[in-house]
Amino acid sequence: MSLDTEGCLELQRAMQRELTRSMRGLRLPSHPRPFFLSYLVHHRSHTRVWGRYGSVFHSSQDRDTDLYVECRVGSYRLDQSLDGGIATDWSGRDSYSWVAGPEEPSPDAVRYALWKLSQHKYEEALQDYYEKKKVLVEQTLQGGARSFSHEPRFVLTEDVAPVRFPKKRWADFVRETSSIFRRHRRLLDPYVEVRGEDRIRVYVNSEGSKFVSQDAYFEVTARALVLSKDGIYLSAEQRFHGRSPRELPTRAQIEAAIERLAEDLDELARSEPLAPYAGPALLSGYASGLLFHEAIGHRLEGERMIARSEGKTFATRIGTQILPEGIDIWDDPTIASAHGKSLFGHYRVDDEGVRAERVQLVENGVLRNFLMSRSSVPGFPQSNGHGRHGSYEDPMARMANLVIEARDGWSSEALEEQLAKLVRDRGLDHGLIIEGVSDGETRTDRYDFQAFKGVPTEVFVFDPTTRRKRRVRDVSFIGTPLAAAQGIVALGRDAAVDNSYCWAESGGIPVSTIAPSMVVQELELQRSTTKRFRPPLLSLPPMRGD
C-alpha cells in the first residue's frame, strides 16, 4: 500500500472505525471504561549508506511501522498515570509485543494490530489504575493537578508524497567522497555516511482530533580517528543536516570538510591533556546551547514537576529570577528554519494531537512557563504542544527548537576581553575557550546528583595577557544547574544552530538548539576516562595507486 495523502486518509478512516469500536467494547464489569483513547501510527522509511577508502562497507534500505495506543481509564481528573508516566517501563509489558506494526500498513492489517494492542493497553491501564489507588491511600500526588488535560479538537492533513532515497546514487557519493581519505593515511577508521529518514504519522483520538503529518531528515557525516603519542584515540567529525534532499552537501563541500577534519585531528594529536580546571570560560554557541539544553531545558519539562523521583529544580520558581537579566529562552516547534539552516525540531502537531505552540520559558531572566504535554502540572492545566516520543513510549513534554537570546548581546571581542578580566581578577594563569562539543547528558532525579555533563571537542587554554590560544584535550565539563545558571556573565550577539537527537524517558527525538556564545564565571573540567592503546602492529596496507 502506498502511503501518499489519499492512502494515509484511507488508513486514518480505518483507524477511526477501530477506535470507535474499541471505545464501545473495551469494558469489564465493575471496572472503569476508557474515557480517552488515541491511535498513532508511525511509518518510517530509512536509508543508510556508509563506507571508507572508496568502497561501501554497509548499506540498508528499510521501512517499518510502530503503533502507539493511549488508553486512559478513570477520569481527566484522576486516571491511571503515576508520576506523569515517565517511570513506566513499557518494554517489559505484554503490550510491547504488539507495538511493531505491519511493514505494509494496509487498513485491515493495522486494524488487526490495533485491536490486539488496545486489549493489552486497556488491561494494563486498569492494573495501573488500581495500583495508583493503593498509592493514594498514603500519599498525596501532583498538588491537586488534573491527571490528563482536556484539549480542543484539532485537525491537520499535510500533503504526503514519497521521499526518494536514491541508494545507488548515495553509494556512488560515498565511494567518491570516502576515497578522499586516501590522501590522509595517518588517519584511522575514516568513513563517510549518508542517512535519510521519512517519517509519516497518522493519528486519531476519541475527542475528535486527527492528523496526517510527514517529516523527513537527512544527515551526512565524515569522521576519523587518530592515535596520540600517549596512546589515546582522538576523534573528529564534520556533520551536515537538512530536511530535504536539496540540503545534502556536494562532493566539494565534503572534500573541504575532510580537509578541515584532517587538520583538526593533526592539531588535536599535537595537543597536551588538560589538568582538571575550575574557572572562567568562554563557550561558543554550540557549547552554550548544549549547556542550556542539559542544565535548563530538561528541567523545564512538565512531567519532571510532578514525578516523585524528580529533583524538581525549578518547580516552585515560576515568576522568580533563575537567570541573569537580559536573557530570554523560548521553544518554538513552528519555526522551520533559522539563520539559513532547516531545523530538526520543527513540527506542526505533537504526538498527542495538540497544535504546536511557541512557549516563552524565560523572560528577561524570569521563569514564566514549562514545556507541557497533556500531563497537567499545578498552575499549568493545558498542553502547549510539546508531548513527544520516539515510538512506543508514553509521550512527555520535550524540547523542540530551543532558542536562547540576549537582549543586549556582546561582540566577540568584548566577550574575550571579559574572559581575560575574569581570569586576571581570579589570579589565574589562564582561562578556557570551548568551541566545539559532541554530546551531553544530565541527571534530573532526586536520588542522584543534580548534575550535567558535556563532552567538548575543541578546547583551548587562553592566556589573558597575550590572548594566545593553545589546544588541549581529554576533558569533559561538568556542573550543577543552579550554579551554571547563576554563573552566566554575558551572552554574545551571534547564534549557532545545532541539529541533533535527544534521548530521554520518552525515547529519541530530533531537536534543534539556537544559542549565542557565552562567558561563565565558573566551569569545571575533569579529565576524561581514557584507555591507552598500542599503535597497530602493522602499518596501513598498500592500496591501488600507492
Distance of alpha carbon 516 from alpha carbon 93, whole angstroms = 44
How many CA atoms are closer than 13 Å to the CA of 39, on its beta-carbon side? 28
Query: Is residue 252, in this structure, part of any structural domain at all?
Result: no
Q: Which three cell numbers stand for residue 172?
A: 556512488
Q: Does residue 479 or residue 533 have the better pLDDT?
A: 533
Give mean pLDDT, residues 221-238.
Answer: 92
Q: Tens digits of per-residue pLDDT, 383-431?
A: 999 999 999 999 999 999 999 999 999 999 999 999 999 999 999 999 9
Q: Does residue 59 have a pLDDT over 70?
A: yes
Which residues lie below 8 Å from residue 458, measured CB to CB, with a gap of 6+?
264, 434, 435, 436, 471
Assess contact for 73 and 122: CB atoms under 8 A: yes
Q: Does residue 2 have a pLDDT over 50?
A: yes
Give the number of other Cβ atoms within 10 Å of residue 445's Cβ.
Answer: 16
Residues 158 and 297 in one domain: no
The CA distances from residue 249 to 27, 241, 252, 512, in Å, are 55, 9, 8, 19
Residues 140 and 281 in one domain: no
Lowest mean pLDDT among 62-66, 135-139, 177-181, 199-203: 135-139
Query: Is residue 488, in this structure, part of any structural domain at all?
Result: yes
Which residues lie below 8 Å from residue 267, measured CB to CB, with a gap of 6+?
471
Query: Is residue 211, in this structure, part of any structural domain at all?
Result: no
Using the structure block, give the residue that is written with the C-alpha cell 537567570. 323
Give mean pLDDT, residues 112-130.
Answer: 97
Residues 366 and 502 in one domain: yes
Q: Does residue 142 or residue 514 have the better pLDDT?
A: 514
Q: Which three cell numbers stand for residue 254?
A: 565534503
What is the tally of structural domains in the chain?
2
3-state secondary structure of 114: helix
Residues 10 and 140 in one domain: yes
Which residues lie below 8 Å from residue 299, measured CB to CB, with a gap of 6+?
311, 313, 314, 444, 481
Tell me, what amino acid is at 379?
Answer: G
Q: How does DSSP assign 452-487, residue by residue?
A: EEEEEEEEEEE-TTT--EEEEESEEEEE-HHHHHHT
Lowest mean pLDDT among 139-153, 212-226, 327-341: 139-153
In degrees, rounded to 5, the angle at the alpha carbon of residue 123 between the alpha carbons of residues 120 and 127 is 135
Q: What is the pLDDT of residue 144?
A: 60
Distance of alpha carbon 289 from alpha carbon 514, whole angstroms = 7
Q: What is the pLDDT of residue 446?
A: 47
Closest CA to 324 of 370, 363, 281: 363
Q: Tens digits of per-residue pLDDT, 266-279?
A: 999 999 998 888 89
Q: Cβ-count burial of 37 within 10 angstroms (0-12 exposed, 13-18 middle, 19+ buried)?
A: buried
Which residues lie below 8 Å from residue 371, measured CB to CB, with a gap of 6+?
297, 300, 301, 302, 331, 359, 361, 384, 386, 397, 398, 399
Distance of alpha carbon 240 from alpha carbon 256, whole angstroms = 12
Which residues lie below 8 Å from residue 235, measured CB to CB, with a gap of 6+?
223, 224, 225
Q: What is the pLDDT of residue 447?
A: 45
Query: Is residue 542, in this structure, part of any structural domain at all?
Result: no
Q: What is the pLDDT of residue 137?
A: 79
Band the pLDDT of 451: cuts 50, 70, 90: low
Highest mean pLDDT: which of 89-98, 133-142, 311-320, 409-418?
Answer: 409-418
β strands within 123-232, DSSP E: 155-157, 188-205, 210-227
Distance of alpha carbon 503 from alpha carbon 354, whole angstroms = 21
Distance of alpha carbon 192 from alpha carbon 219, whole angstroms = 11
Assess contact for 26 and 118: CB atoms under 8 A: yes
Domain that holds residue 342: 277-527
Which residues lie below 8 Å from residue 431, measured CB to CB, with a gap of 6+?
279, 280, 281, 282, 419, 420, 422, 423, 461, 462, 464
**Buried residues in 326-363 as b, exposed as e (16+ CB within 10 A):** ebbbbbbbebeebeebbbbbbbbbbbbbbbbbebebbe
Query: Is residue 140, in this structure, part of any structural domain at all?
Result: yes
Query: Is residue 247, in this structure, part of any structural domain at all?
Result: no
Residues 281 and 402 in one domain: yes
**Proportion of the chain above pLDDT 70, given as a percent:** 95
Q: Does residue 80 have a pLDDT over 90?
A: yes
Closest CA to 494 of 516, 514, 509, 478: 516
Band the pLDDT of 449: cuts 50, 70, 90: very low
Query: Is residue 251, in this structure, part of any structural domain at all?
Result: no
How high does pLDDT run on average in the chain? 92
Distance of alpha carbon 219 from alpha carbon 195, whole angstroms = 5
Query: Is residue 125, in this structure, part of any structural domain at all?
Result: yes
Band the pLDDT of 283: cuts 50, 70, 90: very high
Q: Does residue 332 have a pLDDT over 50?
A: yes
Assess contact for 470 and 461: CB atoms under 8 A: yes
Q: Does residue 455 have a pLDDT over 90?
A: no
What's the pTM? 0.94
